[in-house]
Amino acid sequence: MATKTKRQVDNWKKKKWFEIYADSVFDNHMIGETIAIESKKLIGRKIKKSLRDLTNSVRDSYFEITFVIKKVTATKADAEIIKYETKGNYLRRLTRRGKSKIEPVFYVKTKDNHTLKLKILFITGAKYPTKTKTEAQRIIVDTITEDIKTKNLNETWNDVIYQKLTNICKKKLLKLGYVNKIIVSKATLKE
């Protein structure tokens, strides 16, 4: 006796294309397309993009931004930034012998009660003694914390991505000695 085989339905024909748009930090720019059977299956999906793709600037090749889809309407998916990070090969190129590397990691709270975990990379112009390193780390943490608590999340992301936070720190760190480089190497939104 022959066995009956179940007829399989091709799910590909049921799927629809959705356009993904970045949040207002990037002027709601379209960042890609994805496919799904239902719109609710897109919620929580992550998309990683190079900052260069969003700004069309070669300088931004070393930075990546991770978005997560928060809202879907019709065939449009709205994504928000949850992570910003610098590529490892760029960070390795910055460090040199005869210089100090200071990397404070700390949490900050925005005006609208969002918490960000920041990692700052500070490369000095010459070797710093331990006391000076501690002072530099304190200046970085205090300056950035004070600045961010007066801004909402979008303003904070804008300052992190375009390195405006580090420019404020650089002015205060010059009193300790020559500043080679200071950047936000990683920022993560904590829920």
**CATH number of the domain where residue 131 is located:** 3.30.479.30
CA–chain centroid gap for 104, Å, is 17
Reported as a single tens digit per residue, the pLDDT across 28-46 is 889 999 988 888 888 999 9
- Are 79 and 29 within one domain? yes
Q: What are phi and psi of 43, to 5 degrees?
A: -60, 125
* Residue 2 covered by a domain: no
Number of domains forming the structure of the chain = 2
Residue 152: burial class (beta carbons within 10 Å; 0-12, 13-18, 19+) = middle
- Are 26 and 63 within one domain? yes
Percent of the chain with pLDDT over 90: 53
Q: In whole angstroms, how large is the CA radius of gyration of the chain?
A: 22
Q: Which residue range is the domain that position 179 belongs to?
A: 88-190
**Residue 2 reports pLDDT greater than 70:** no
* Residue 36 covered by a domain: yes
Predicted pLDDT of residue 171 = 87
Quote the DSSP letter at residue 72.
Answer: E
The domain boundary residue, chosen from 66, 86, 106: 86
Averaged confidence pLDDT in the chain: 89
